[in-house]
Protein backbone atom coordinates (compact mmCIF):
# COMPACT_ATOMS: atom_id res chain seq x y z
CA UNK A 1 0.00 0.00 0.00
CA UNK A 2 2.86 2.36 0.81
CA UNK A 3 4.49 1.76 -2.58
CA UNK A 4 1.16 2.41 -4.31
CA UNK A 5 0.60 5.68 -2.43
CA UNK A 6 4.13 6.96 -3.16
CA UNK A 7 3.81 5.96 -6.83
CA UNK A 8 0.49 7.81 -7.21
CA UNK A 9 2.00 10.93 -5.59
CA UNK A 10 5.02 10.80 -7.93
CA UNK A 11 2.77 10.37 -10.96
CA UNK A 12 0.59 13.28 -9.84
CA UNK A 13 3.47 15.70 -9.22
CA UNK A 14 5.08 14.97 -12.63
CA UNK A 15 8.52 15.66 -11.17
CA UNK A 16 9.83 12.50 -12.83
CA UNK A 17 9.01 10.80 -16.12
CA UNK A 18 6.38 8.07 -15.88
CA UNK A 19 8.76 5.37 -17.16
CA UNK A 20 11.33 6.34 -14.52
CA UNK A 21 8.66 6.07 -11.81
CA UNK A 22 7.65 2.64 -13.11
CA UNK A 23 11.23 1.37 -12.94
CA UNK A 24 11.54 2.79 -9.41
CA UNK A 25 8.41 0.84 -8.45
CA UNK A 26 9.89 -2.33 -9.98
CA UNK A 27 13.18 -2.04 -8.10
CA UNK A 28 11.42 -1.19 -4.84
CA UNK A 29 9.37 -4.39 -5.09
CA UNK A 30 12.63 -6.38 -5.35
CA UNK A 31 14.53 -4.48 -2.65
CA UNK A 32 11.67 -4.85 -0.16
CA UNK A 33 11.44 -8.57 -0.88
CA UNK A 34 7.84 -8.45 -2.13
CA UNK A 35 8.97 -10.07 -5.40
CA UNK A 36 12.10 -11.88 -6.51
CA UNK A 37 14.09 -10.65 -9.51
CA UNK A 38 12.49 -13.14 -11.90
CA UNK A 39 8.99 -11.98 -10.99
CA UNK A 40 9.94 -8.31 -10.99
CA UNK A 41 11.40 -8.36 -14.51
CA UNK A 42 8.76 -10.68 -15.95
CA UNK A 43 6.92 -7.63 -17.25
CA UNK A 44 9.47 -7.18 -20.01
CA UNK A 45 8.63 -10.62 -21.43
CA UNK A 46 4.87 -10.39 -20.93
CA UNK A 47 2.53 -10.73 -23.90
CA UNK A 48 1.05 -7.34 -22.97
CA UNK A 49 4.35 -5.52 -23.55
CA UNK A 50 5.04 -7.50 -26.73
CA UNK A 51 1.58 -6.68 -28.08
CA UNK A 52 1.95 -2.97 -27.27
CA UNK A 53 5.23 -2.49 -29.15
CA UNK A 54 3.94 -4.56 -32.07
CA UNK A 55 0.82 -2.36 -32.26
CA UNK A 56 3.05 0.72 -32.43
CA UNK A 57 5.00 -0.74 -35.38
CA UNK A 58 1.86 -1.70 -37.32
CA UNK A 59 0.45 1.77 -36.60
CA UNK A 60 3.70 3.27 -37.89
CA UNK A 61 3.24 1.41 -41.19
CA UNK A 62 -0.28 2.78 -41.61
CA UNK A 63 1.01 6.26 -40.77
CA UNK A 64 4.07 6.37 -43.06
CA UNK A 65 2.24 5.02 -46.11
CA UNK A 66 -0.45 7.68 -45.79
CA UNK A 67 -3.30 5.18 -45.23
CA UNK A 68 -4.51 6.92 -42.09
CA UNK A 69 -4.17 10.37 -43.72
CA UNK A 70 -6.22 9.32 -46.74
CA UNK A 71 -9.02 7.83 -44.68
CA UNK A 72 -9.15 10.67 -42.19
CA UNK A 73 -8.91 13.63 -44.56
CA UNK A 74 -11.47 12.33 -47.04
CA UNK A 75 -14.05 11.39 -44.43
CA UNK A 76 -13.72 14.74 -42.67
CA UNK A 77 -14.08 16.63 -45.96
CA UNK A 78 -17.43 14.95 -46.57
CA UNK A 79 -18.81 16.66 -43.47
CA UNK A 80 -18.83 20.11 -45.10
CA UNK A 81 -18.68 23.30 -43.04
CA UNK A 82 -21.31 22.54 -40.39
CA UNK A 83 -19.77 22.60 -36.90
CA UNK A 84 -22.03 19.74 -35.73
CA UNK A 85 -21.31 17.53 -38.76
CA UNK A 86 -17.59 18.30 -38.52
CA UNK A 87 -17.54 17.37 -34.83
CA UNK A 88 -19.32 14.07 -35.53
CA UNK A 89 -17.12 13.25 -38.55
CA UNK A 90 -13.87 14.04 -36.73
CA UNK A 91 -14.79 12.03 -33.66
CA UNK A 92 -16.15 9.07 -35.63
CA UNK A 93 -13.08 8.95 -37.89
CA UNK A 94 -10.53 9.30 -35.11
CA UNK A 95 -12.44 6.91 -32.86
CA UNK A 96 -12.52 4.13 -35.45
CA UNK A 97 -8.85 4.67 -36.33
CA UNK A 98 -7.95 4.47 -32.63
CA UNK A 99 -9.46 1.01 -32.49
CA UNK A 100 -6.70 -0.26 -34.78
CA UNK A 101 -3.74 2.05 -34.10
CA UNK A 102 -2.44 3.81 -31.01
CA UNK A 103 -4.41 6.80 -29.71
CA UNK A 104 -1.63 9.35 -30.05
CA UNK A 105 -0.87 8.25 -33.61
CA UNK A 106 -4.50 8.63 -34.66
CA UNK A 107 -4.63 12.13 -33.14
CA UNK A 108 -1.32 13.14 -34.72
CA UNK A 109 -2.40 11.95 -38.18
CA UNK A 110 -5.62 13.96 -38.17
CA UNK A 111 -4.34 17.07 -36.36
CA UNK A 112 -3.05 18.99 -39.44
CA UNK A 113 -6.17 18.13 -41.45
CA UNK A 114 -8.52 19.30 -38.67
CA UNK A 115 -6.60 22.60 -38.27
CA UNK A 116 -6.75 23.21 -42.04
CA UNK A 117 -10.45 22.36 -42.32
CA UNK A 118 -11.31 24.56 -39.32
CA UNK A 119 -9.63 27.53 -41.03
CA UNK A 120 -11.39 26.86 -44.32
CA UNK A 121 -14.77 26.58 -42.58
CA UNK A 122 -13.98 29.68 -40.45
CA UNK A 123 -14.60 27.70 -37.24
CA UNK A 124 -12.32 28.29 -34.22
CA UNK A 125 -9.95 25.32 -34.19
CA UNK A 126 -10.43 25.12 -30.41
CA UNK A 127 -13.99 23.93 -31.12
CA UNK A 128 -12.66 20.82 -32.87
CA UNK A 129 -9.35 19.74 -31.30
CA UNK A 130 -10.63 18.64 -27.87
CA UNK A 131 -13.27 16.46 -29.60
CA UNK A 132 -10.40 15.03 -31.69
CA UNK A 133 -8.29 14.04 -28.68
CA UNK A 134 -11.24 12.81 -26.60
CA UNK A 135 -12.46 10.58 -29.45
CA UNK A 136 -9.05 8.91 -29.69
CA UNK A 137 -9.44 7.81 -26.05
CA UNK A 138 -13.04 6.70 -26.53
CA UNK A 139 -12.30 4.79 -29.74
CA UNK A 140 -9.61 2.77 -28.02
CA UNK A 141 -12.43 0.72 -26.47
CA UNK A 142 -13.53 -0.65 -29.87
CA UNK A 143 -10.98 -3.49 -29.98
CA UNK A 144 -8.73 -5.30 -27.55
CA UNK A 145 -5.62 -3.66 -29.12
CA UNK A 146 -7.12 -0.16 -29.16
CA UNK A 147 -5.39 1.01 -26.01
CA UNK A 148 -2.72 -0.38 -23.63
CA UNK A 149 -5.17 -0.79 -20.68
CA UNK A 150 -7.22 -3.22 -22.79
CA UNK A 151 -4.12 -5.26 -23.58
CA UNK A 152 -3.00 -5.17 -19.95
CA UNK A 153 -6.42 -6.24 -18.69
CA UNK A 154 -6.42 -9.23 -21.02
CA UNK A 155 -2.94 -10.17 -19.84
CA UNK A 156 -3.95 -9.98 -16.17
CA UNK A 157 -7.05 -12.11 -16.80
CA UNK A 158 -4.90 -14.72 -18.55
CA UNK A 159 -2.37 -14.76 -15.71
CA UNK A 160 -5.20 -15.53 -13.28
CA UNK A 161 -6.48 -18.40 -15.45
CA UNK A 162 -9.72 -16.55 -16.23
CA UNK A 163 -11.49 -16.20 -19.63
CA UNK A 164 -9.97 -13.45 -21.79
CA UNK A 165 -11.39 -11.22 -24.52
CA UNK A 166 -11.13 -11.99 -28.23
CA UNK A 167 -10.23 -9.22 -30.68
CA UNK A 168 -13.76 -7.87 -31.23
CA UNK A 169 -15.46 -9.06 -28.02
CA UNK A 170 -15.55 -5.56 -26.54
CA UNK A 171 -16.64 -3.83 -29.77
CA UNK A 172 -20.39 -3.55 -28.94
CA UNK A 173 -19.69 -1.88 -25.61
CA UNK A 174 -16.93 0.21 -27.20
CA UNK A 175 -19.42 1.41 -29.82
CA UNK A 176 -21.76 2.51 -27.03
CA UNK A 177 -18.92 4.40 -25.32
CA UNK A 178 -17.81 6.11 -28.54
CA UNK A 179 -21.40 6.85 -29.58
CA UNK A 180 -22.17 8.41 -26.19
CA UNK A 181 -19.08 10.62 -26.45
CA UNK A 182 -19.95 11.76 -29.98
CA UNK A 183 -23.58 12.47 -29.06
CA UNK A 184 -22.54 14.44 -25.98
CA UNK A 185 -19.95 16.55 -27.83
CA UNK A 186 -22.28 17.25 -30.76
CA UNK A 187 -25.20 18.34 -28.58
CA UNK A 188 -23.67 19.70 -25.36
CA UNK A 189 -19.86 19.63 -25.32
CA UNK A 190 -19.31 21.89 -28.35
CA UNK A 191 -21.25 24.64 -26.56
CA UNK A 192 -18.89 24.35 -23.57
CA UNK A 193 -15.74 24.57 -25.72
CA UNK A 194 -14.01 27.96 -25.81
CA UNK A 195 -13.27 29.99 -28.95
CA UNK A 196 -9.53 30.44 -28.45
CA UNK A 197 -7.03 32.10 -30.78
CA UNK A 198 -3.96 29.90 -31.35
CA UNK A 199 -0.50 31.41 -31.62
CA UNK A 200 -0.40 31.57 -35.42
CA UNK A 201 -3.58 33.64 -35.62
CA UNK A 202 -2.71 36.23 -32.98
CA UNK A 203 -1.85 39.77 -34.03
CA UNK A 204 1.82 40.34 -34.76
CA UNK A 205 2.03 42.81 -31.87
CA UNK A 206 1.40 39.95 -29.48
CA UNK A 207 4.14 37.86 -31.02
CA UNK A 208 7.04 40.32 -31.18
CA UNK A 209 8.15 43.16 -29.01
CA UNK A 210 9.75 45.07 -31.87
CA UNK A 211 10.54 44.63 -35.55
CA UNK A 212 12.77 47.20 -37.19
CA UNK A 213 15.40 47.76 -39.87
CA UNK A 214 19.03 48.51 -39.21
CA UNK A 215 21.81 49.26 -41.66
CA UNK A 216 25.39 48.08 -41.23
CA UNK A 217 27.72 51.07 -41.28
CA UNK A 218 31.07 50.77 -43.16
CA UNK A 219 33.05 50.82 -39.90
CA UNK A 220 30.79 48.30 -38.13
CA UNK A 221 32.60 45.23 -36.73
CA UNK A 222 29.82 43.15 -38.31
CA UNK A 223 31.00 43.97 -41.85
CA UNK A 224 32.52 40.80 -43.29
CA UNK A 225 31.26 38.55 -40.50
CA UNK A 226 28.81 35.67 -40.90
CA UNK A 227 25.55 35.66 -38.97
CA UNK A 228 26.90 33.13 -36.48
CA UNK A 229 30.09 35.17 -36.01
CA UNK A 230 28.05 38.34 -35.44
CA UNK A 231 26.47 36.81 -32.29
CA UNK A 232 23.40 38.98 -32.82
CA UNK A 233 21.29 36.12 -31.51
CA UNK A 234 23.61 34.77 -28.82
CA UNK A 235 24.53 38.12 -27.22
CA UNK A 236 21.62 40.40 -28.11
CA UNK A 237 18.67 38.05 -28.68
CA UNK A 238 18.06 39.62 -32.09
CA UNK A 239 16.83 37.48 -34.98
CA UNK A 240 17.63 38.55 -38.54
CA UNK A 241 14.45 37.84 -40.51
CA UNK A 242 15.55 39.27 -43.87
CA UNK A 243 18.43 41.07 -45.53
CA UNK A 244 18.21 43.72 -48.27
CA UNK A 245 21.28 44.11 -50.49
CA UNK A 246 21.38 46.11 -53.75
CA UNK A 247 17.62 46.43 -53.66
CA UNK A 248 17.06 42.66 -53.45
CA UNK A 249 15.49 41.03 -50.39
CA UNK A 250 16.98 37.78 -49.12
CA UNK A 251 15.10 35.59 -46.64
CA UNK A 252 16.91 32.27 -47.13
CA UNK A 253 19.50 33.10 -44.49
CA UNK A 254 21.73 30.66 -42.62
CA UNK A 255 24.55 30.77 -40.11
CA UNK A 256 27.18 31.25 -42.84
CA UNK A 257 25.43 34.16 -44.57
CA UNK A 258 28.10 36.91 -44.71
CA UNK A 259 27.18 40.49 -43.87
CA UNK A 260 28.44 43.42 -45.90
CA UNK A 261 28.63 47.21 -45.36
CA UNK A 262 25.35 49.01 -46.14
CA UNK A 263 23.29 45.82 -45.83
CA UNK A 264 19.81 46.54 -44.50
CA UNK A 265 18.78 43.97 -41.88
CA UNK A 266 15.21 43.31 -40.77
CA UNK A 267 15.59 42.24 -37.15
CA UNK A 268 13.21 41.03 -34.50
CA UNK A 269 13.79 41.69 -30.81
CA UNK A 270 13.16 44.05 -27.94
CA UNK A 271 13.82 47.79 -28.24
CA UNK A 272 16.30 47.57 -25.35
CA UNK A 273 18.41 44.93 -27.10
CA UNK A 274 18.24 46.79 -30.38
CA UNK A 275 19.53 50.01 -28.82
CA UNK A 276 22.25 48.09 -26.97
CA UNK A 277 23.45 46.52 -30.21
CA UNK A 278 23.44 49.89 -31.98
CA UNK A 279 25.90 51.31 -29.47
CA UNK A 280 28.41 48.48 -29.67
CA UNK A 281 28.04 47.14 -33.23
CA UNK A 282 27.79 50.31 -35.27
CA UNK A 283 24.25 49.73 -36.51
CA UNK A 284 22.10 52.56 -37.86
CA UNK A 285 18.36 52.35 -37.21
CA UNK A 286 16.52 53.22 -40.42
CA UNK A 287 13.53 55.06 -39.02
CA UNK A 288 12.45 56.37 -42.41
CA UNK A 289 12.64 52.95 -44.06
CA UNK A 290 9.89 50.52 -43.13
CA UNK A 291 9.95 47.03 -44.63
CA UNK A 292 6.79 45.27 -43.54
CA UNK A 293 6.70 41.52 -43.07
CA UNK A 294 3.89 41.31 -45.58
CA UNK A 295 6.10 42.87 -48.27
CA UNK A 296 8.46 39.90 -48.22
CA UNK A 297 7.77 37.28 -50.88
CA UNK A 298 5.36 34.80 -49.26
CA UNK A 299 7.01 31.92 -51.07
CA UNK A 300 10.34 32.89 -49.52
CA UNK A 301 9.04 33.79 -46.06
CA UNK A 302 6.06 31.63 -45.23
CA UNK A 303 4.57 31.58 -41.71
CA UNK A 304 3.57 28.17 -40.43
CA UNK A 305 2.63 26.57 -37.12
CA UNK A 306 4.20 23.32 -35.95
CA UNK A 307 3.90 21.30 -32.78
CA UNK A 308 6.30 18.74 -31.42
CA UNK A 309 5.59 15.20 -32.58
CA UNK A 310 4.76 12.60 -29.88
CA UNK A 311 8.21 10.99 -29.94
CA UNK A 312 10.17 14.04 -31.06
CA UNK A 313 13.88 14.06 -30.13
CA UNK A 314 13.46 17.84 -29.72
CA UNK A 315 11.68 17.33 -26.37
CA UNK A 316 13.99 18.66 -23.65
CA UNK A 317 16.38 20.26 -26.17
CA UNK A 318 16.76 23.81 -27.48
CA UNK A 319 16.60 25.17 -31.02
CA UNK A 320 20.21 26.23 -30.65
CA UNK A 321 21.34 22.69 -29.79
CA UNK A 322 19.56 21.33 -32.87
CA UNK A 323 20.90 24.13 -35.14
CA UNK A 324 17.27 24.48 -36.13
CA UNK A 325 17.54 27.41 -38.54
CA UNK A 326 20.48 25.91 -40.42
CA UNK A 327 18.84 22.51 -40.67
CA UNK A 328 15.34 23.56 -41.71
CA UNK A 329 15.64 27.17 -42.88
CA UNK A 330 12.96 28.40 -40.48
CA UNK A 331 13.14 31.00 -37.71
CA UNK A 332 11.04 30.67 -34.55
CA UNK A 333 8.93 33.79 -33.98
CA UNK A 334 7.05 32.60 -30.89
CA UNK A 335 6.29 29.54 -28.78
CA UNK A 336 2.85 28.88 -27.29
CA UNK A 337 3.12 27.01 -24.00
CA UNK A 338 0.16 26.33 -21.71
CA UNK A 339 -1.61 29.59 -22.51
CA UNK A 340 1.54 31.73 -22.55
CA UNK A 341 3.27 33.19 -25.61
CA UNK A 342 7.07 33.10 -25.33
CA UNK A 343 9.06 35.52 -27.51
CA UNK A 344 12.34 36.06 -25.63
CA UNK A 345 15.53 34.07 -26.31
CA UNK A 346 13.59 31.35 -28.10
CA UNK A 347 16.76 29.62 -29.29
CA UNK A 348 17.57 28.80 -25.64
CA UNK A 349 14.10 27.61 -24.54
CA UNK A 350 13.99 23.90 -23.73
CA UNK A 351 11.06 22.54 -25.69
CA UNK A 352 8.29 20.48 -24.11
CA UNK A 353 5.78 18.10 -25.61
CA UNK A 354 2.68 20.18 -26.36
CA UNK A 355 4.61 23.32 -27.37
CA UNK A 356 3.42 25.01 -30.56
CA UNK A 357 5.99 27.00 -32.54
CA UNK A 358 5.25 29.87 -34.92
CA UNK A 359 7.87 29.57 -37.65
CA UNK A 360 8.86 31.70 -40.62
CA UNK A 361 10.87 30.45 -43.57
CA UNK A 362 10.78 29.50 -47.25
CA UNK A 363 7.80 27.42 -48.34
CA UNK A 364 10.09 25.13 -50.36
CA UNK A 365 11.67 23.95 -47.09
CA UNK A 366 8.31 22.82 -45.63
CA UNK A 367 8.58 19.22 -46.88
CA UNK A 368 11.86 18.69 -44.99
CA UNK A 369 10.22 20.06 -41.84
CA UNK A 370 7.18 17.84 -42.26
CA UNK A 371 9.11 14.71 -43.23
CA UNK A 372 11.12 14.79 -40.03
CA UNK A 373 9.94 12.85 -37.00
CA UNK A 374 10.37 15.96 -34.87
CA UNK A 375 7.39 18.15 -35.82
CA UNK A 376 3.78 18.02 -36.95
CA UNK A 377 3.25 20.89 -39.40
CA UNK A 378 -0.28 22.22 -38.88
CA UNK A 379 -1.11 22.68 -42.53
CA UNK A 380 -1.25 20.28 -45.46
CA UNK A 381 1.74 20.27 -47.79
CA UNK A 382 1.05 19.04 -51.33
CA UNK A 383 4.04 16.82 -51.75
CA UNK A 384 4.71 13.09 -51.79
CA UNK A 385 6.03 12.49 -48.30
CA UNK A 386 5.29 8.89 -47.56
CA UNK A 387 5.52 5.57 -49.38
CA UNK A 388 2.05 5.72 -50.87
CA UNK A 389 2.75 2.82 -53.24
CA UNK A 390 3.14 0.63 -50.16
CA UNK A 391 -0.27 1.67 -48.81
CA UNK A 392 -2.12 -1.42 -50.20
CA UNK A 393 0.52 -3.65 -48.60
CA UNK A 394 0.06 -1.92 -45.23
CA UNK A 395 -3.72 -2.34 -45.46
CA UNK A 396 -3.28 -5.99 -46.44
CA UNK A 397 -1.01 -6.62 -43.46
CA UNK A 398 -3.55 -5.07 -41.09
CA UNK A 399 -6.29 -7.23 -42.62
CA UNK A 400 -4.09 -10.32 -42.21
CA UNK A 401 -3.55 -9.48 -38.52
CA UNK A 402 -7.33 -9.30 -38.02
CA UNK A 403 -7.84 -12.64 -39.78
CA UNK A 404 -5.10 -14.33 -37.76
CA UNK A 405 -6.48 -13.00 -34.47
CA UNK A 406 -10.18 -13.61 -35.15
CA UNK A 407 -10.53 -16.55 -37.55
CA UNK A 408 -7.31 -18.55 -37.39
CA UNK A 409 -7.10 -18.47 -33.60
CA UNK A 410 -3.66 -16.90 -33.19
CA UNK A 411 -2.94 -15.23 -29.87
CA UNK A 412 -3.26 -11.46 -30.30
CA UNK A 413 0.41 -10.92 -29.44
CA UNK A 414 1.47 -13.47 -32.09
CA UNK A 415 -0.77 -11.90 -34.73
CA UNK A 416 0.54 -8.39 -34.00
CA UNK A 417 4.21 -9.45 -34.06
CA UNK A 418 3.56 -11.21 -37.37
CA UNK A 419 2.11 -7.99 -38.73
CA UNK A 420 4.97 -5.85 -37.46
CA UNK A 421 7.57 -8.19 -38.96
CA UNK A 422 5.80 -8.19 -42.33
CA UNK A 423 5.83 -4.38 -42.29
CA UNK A 424 9.63 -4.57 -42.31
CA UNK A 425 10.08 -7.58 -44.62
CA UNK A 426 7.79 -6.10 -47.30
CA UNK A 427 9.46 -2.69 -47.22
CA UNK A 428 6.69 -0.66 -45.62
CA UNK A 429 9.11 0.33 -42.85
CA UNK A 430 12.83 0.00 -42.37
CA UNK A 431 13.93 -1.61 -39.12
CA UNK A 432 15.14 1.77 -37.85
CA UNK A 433 11.74 3.29 -38.63
CA UNK A 434 10.05 0.40 -36.84
CA UNK A 435 12.07 1.19 -33.71
CA UNK A 436 11.24 4.90 -34.10
CA UNK A 437 7.52 4.07 -34.26
CA UNK A 438 7.56 2.50 -30.80
CA UNK A 439 6.60 4.69 -27.85
CA UNK A 440 9.35 3.33 -25.63
CA UNK A 441 8.18 5.32 -22.63
CA UNK A 442 4.89 3.41 -22.69
CA UNK A 443 6.70 0.09 -23.10
CA UNK A 444 8.88 0.69 -20.04
CA UNK A 445 5.94 2.10 -18.10
CA UNK A 446 3.89 -1.05 -18.67
CA UNK A 447 6.81 -3.43 -18.10
CA UNK A 448 7.73 -1.61 -14.89
CA UNK A 449 4.19 -1.42 -13.50
CA UNK A 450 3.01 -4.95 -14.33
CA UNK A 451 4.96 -6.48 -11.40
CA UNK A 452 3.02 -4.19 -9.06
CA UNK A 453 -0.10 -6.13 -10.04
CA UNK A 454 1.71 -9.37 -9.16
CA UNK A 455 2.75 -7.94 -5.80
CA UNK A 456 -0.81 -6.76 -5.09
CA UNK A 457 -2.01 -10.31 -5.67
CA UNK A 458 0.83 -12.05 -3.79
CA UNK A 459 0.53 -9.87 -0.69
CA UNK A 460 -3.27 -9.90 -0.61
CA UNK A 461 -3.46 -6.14 -1.23
CA UNK A 462 -5.88 -6.55 -4.13
CA UNK A 463 -8.04 -8.87 -2.04
CA UNK A 464 -7.95 -6.43 0.89
CA UNK A 465 -9.00 -3.48 -1.28
CA UNK A 466 -11.68 -5.58 -2.97
CA UNK A 467 -13.15 -6.60 0.40
CA UNK A 468 -13.04 -2.96 1.50
CA UNK A 469 -14.92 -1.92 -1.65
CA UNK A 470 -17.51 -4.65 -1.17
CA UNK A 471 -17.94 -3.63 2.47
CA UNK A 472 -18.51 0.00 1.50
CA UNK A 473 -20.79 -0.55 -1.50
CA UNK A 474 -22.12 -4.06 -1.02
CA UNK A 475 -25.39 -2.69 0.32
CA UNK A 476 -26.05 -1.12 -3.07
CA UNK A 477 -25.94 -4.50 -4.78
CA UNK A 478 -23.62 -5.77 -7.52
CA UNK A 479 -24.40 -2.81 -9.80
CA UNK A 480 -23.37 -0.40 -7.04
CA UNK A 481 -20.06 -2.24 -6.59
CA UNK A 482 -19.57 -2.19 -10.39
CA UNK A 483 -20.11 1.57 -10.31
CA UNK A 484 -17.50 1.84 -7.56
CA UNK A 485 -14.93 0.02 -9.73
CA UNK A 486 -15.66 2.37 -12.63
CA UNK A 487 -15.32 5.46 -10.44
CA UNK A 488 -12.11 4.14 -8.88
CA UNK A 489 -10.61 3.69 -12.35
CA UNK A 490 -11.67 7.15 -13.50
CA UNK A 491 -10.26 8.79 -10.35
CA UNK A 492 -6.89 7.03 -10.43
CA UNK A 493 -6.32 7.66 -14.14
CA UNK A 494 -6.21 11.45 -13.69
CA UNK A 495 -2.98 11.68 -11.65
CA UNK A 496 -1.27 8.84 -13.54
CA UNK A 497 -1.30 7.20 -16.96
CA UNK A 498 -4.24 5.04 -17.96
CA UNK A 499 -1.93 2.01 -18.31
CA UNK A 500 -0.67 2.42 -14.73
CA UNK A 501 -4.25 2.94 -13.54
CA UNK A 502 -5.29 -0.32 -15.20
CA UNK A 503 -2.48 -2.21 -13.44
CA UNK A 504 -3.80 -0.98 -10.09
CA UNK A 505 -7.55 -1.27 -10.63
CA UNK A 506 -7.92 -4.45 -12.74
CA UNK A 507 -6.64 -6.81 -9.97
CA UNK A 508 -9.05 -5.14 -7.55
CA UNK A 509 -11.88 -5.52 -10.09
CA UNK A 510 -11.13 -9.23 -10.55
CA UNK A 511 -10.99 -9.98 -6.81
CA UNK A 512 -14.17 -7.94 -6.24
CA UNK A 513 -16.01 -9.94 -8.89
CA UNK A 514 -14.77 -13.25 -7.46
CA UNK A 515 -15.78 -12.13 -3.98
CA UNK A 516 -19.32 -11.48 -5.23
CA UNK A 517 -19.40 -14.62 -7.36
CA UNK A 518 -19.87 -12.33 -10.37
CA UNK A 519 -18.48 -12.25 -13.91
CA UNK A 520 -14.85 -10.96 -13.74
CA UNK A 521 -14.92 -9.80 -17.37
CA UNK A 522 -17.75 -7.35 -16.67
CA UNK A 523 -15.89 -5.82 -13.73
CA UNK A 524 -12.63 -5.63 -15.71
CA UNK A 525 -14.43 -3.75 -18.50
CA UNK A 526 -15.75 -1.24 -15.94
CA UNK A 527 -12.18 -0.73 -14.73
CA UNK A 528 -10.61 -0.18 -18.18
CA UNK A 529 -13.39 2.10 -19.41
CA UNK A 530 -13.05 4.15 -16.24
CA UNK A 531 -9.28 4.26 -16.76
CA UNK A 532 -9.83 5.56 -20.31
CA UNK A 533 -11.75 8.65 -19.16
CA UNK A 534 -8.71 10.96 -18.93
CA UNK A 535 -10.69 14.06 -19.80
CA UNK A 536 -10.36 16.42 -16.83
CA UNK A 537 -6.89 17.87 -17.53
CA UNK A 538 -4.63 18.37 -20.56
CA UNK A 539 -1.95 16.23 -18.90
CA UNK A 540 -4.29 13.27 -18.37
CA UNK A 541 -3.18 11.72 -21.66
CA UNK A 542 -0.62 12.54 -24.36
CA UNK A 543 -3.39 12.95 -26.94
CA UNK A 544 -4.75 15.83 -24.82
CA UNK A 545 -1.28 17.38 -24.55
CA UNK A 546 -0.81 17.13 -28.31
CA UNK A 547 -3.79 19.40 -29.12
CA UNK A 548 -3.24 21.79 -26.18
CA UNK A 549 -0.95 24.23 -28.02
CA UNK A 550 -2.54 24.12 -31.50
CA UNK A 551 -5.96 24.77 -29.94
CA UNK A 552 -4.72 27.65 -27.80
CA UNK A 553 -6.40 26.02 -24.79
CA UNK A 554 -6.13 26.81 -21.11
CA UNK A 555 -5.86 24.19 -18.39
CA UNK A 556 -9.47 24.19 -17.19
CA UNK A 557 -10.98 24.15 -20.70
CA UNK A 558 -10.61 20.37 -20.47
CA UNK A 559 -12.33 20.21 -17.09
CA UNK A 560 -15.30 22.27 -18.26
CA UNK A 561 -16.02 19.77 -21.03
CA UNK A 562 -14.55 16.61 -19.52
CA UNK A 563 -16.45 16.58 -16.21
CA UNK A 564 -19.98 16.39 -17.72
CA UNK A 565 -18.67 13.98 -20.38
CA UNK A 566 -17.46 11.69 -17.58
CA UNK A 567 -20.97 11.76 -16.07
CA UNK A 568 -22.56 10.88 -19.43
CA UNK A 569 -20.12 8.00 -20.01
CA UNK A 570 -20.66 6.68 -16.49
CA UNK A 571 -24.44 6.61 -17.00
CA UNK A 572 -24.17 4.90 -20.40
CA UNK A 573 -21.70 2.30 -19.11
CA UNK A 574 -23.84 1.44 -16.09
CA UNK A 575 -26.87 0.95 -18.36
CA UNK A 576 -25.32 -1.03 -21.22
CA UNK A 577 -22.46 -2.95 -19.58
CA UNK A 578 -24.73 -5.28 -17.57
CA UNK A 579 -26.86 -5.82 -20.69
CA UNK A 580 -23.92 -6.76 -22.93
CA UNK A 581 -21.87 -8.53 -20.21
CA UNK A 582 -24.26 -9.97 -17.58
CA UNK A 583 -22.88 -9.59 -14.06
CA UNK A 584 -23.83 -13.19 -13.25
CA UNK A 585 -23.59 -16.05 -15.71
**Secondary structure class of 245 (helix, strand, coil):** strand
List the chain domain ranges.
204-295, 302-377
Q: Which of 181-185, 378-382, 546-550 has the lowest mean pLDDT?
A: 378-382
What average pLDDT does the segment 421-444 reach? 88
The answer to whether domain 204-295 has CATH 3.40.50.20 is no
Question: What is the C-alpha separation between 221 and 244, in angstroms, rounded?
Answer: 19
Task: With a cut of 50, say whether residue 299 has pLDDT above it.
Answer: no
Q: What is the pLDDT of residues 490-544, one digit of tens each?
A: 888 877 778 888 888 999 999 999 988 999 999 999 999 998 888 887 767 778 8
Lowest mean pLDDT among 262-266, 397-401, 423-427, 529-533: 262-266
pLDDT at 113 over 50: yes
Concatenating the DSSP letter of every residue in 332-381 gives EEEEEETTEEE-SSGGGPPP-TT-EEEEEE-GGGHHHHHHSSSEEESS--
Residue 526 in 3-state DSSP? helix
Neighbouring C-alpha atoms within 13 Å toward the C-beta of 458: 14
Which residues share a beta bridge with 337?
340
| The pLDDT of residue 148 | 86
**176 against 212, higher pLDDT:** 176
210 has a pLDDT exceeding 70? no
Residue length, the chain?
585
Please tell me the predicted confidence (pLDDT) of residue 63.
78
pLDDT in the model for residue 207: 43
What pLDDT, on a 0 to 100 scale, did the predictor assign at position 256? 78
pLDDT at 356 (0 to 100): 82
pLDDT band at 199 (very low <50, low <70, confident <90, very high): low
Predicted confidence at residue 529, as pLDDT, reads 93
CA–CA gap between residue 111 and residue 106 (Å, rounded): 9
What is the CATH T-level fold of the domain 302-377, as seen in this structure? Answer: Alpha-Beta Plaits (3.30.70)
pLDDT: which is higher, 547 or 519: 519
pLDDT above 60 for 357: yes
Q: Do the domains 204-295 and 302-377 sit in the same CATH topology, yes or no?
A: yes
Q: Can you tell me the mean pLDDT for 307-325?
A: 80
Amino acid sequence: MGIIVVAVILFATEKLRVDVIALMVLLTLVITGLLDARQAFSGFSSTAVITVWAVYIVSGGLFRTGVADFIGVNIIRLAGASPVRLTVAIMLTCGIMSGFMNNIGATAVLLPAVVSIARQAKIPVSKLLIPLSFSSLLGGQLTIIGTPPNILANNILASRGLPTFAFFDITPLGAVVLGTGILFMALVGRRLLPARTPVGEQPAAHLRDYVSEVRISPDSPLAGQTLVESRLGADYDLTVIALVRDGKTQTALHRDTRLQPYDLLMVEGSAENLLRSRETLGLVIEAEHKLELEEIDEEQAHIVEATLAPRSPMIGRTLRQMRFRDRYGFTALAIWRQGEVLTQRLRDVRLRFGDTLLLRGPRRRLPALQESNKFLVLEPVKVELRRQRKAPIAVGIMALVLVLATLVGFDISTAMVTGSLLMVLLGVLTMDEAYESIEWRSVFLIAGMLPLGLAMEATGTARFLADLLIGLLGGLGPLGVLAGIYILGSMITEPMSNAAAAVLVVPIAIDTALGLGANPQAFVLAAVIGAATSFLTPVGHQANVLVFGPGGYRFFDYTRVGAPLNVALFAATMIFLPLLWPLFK
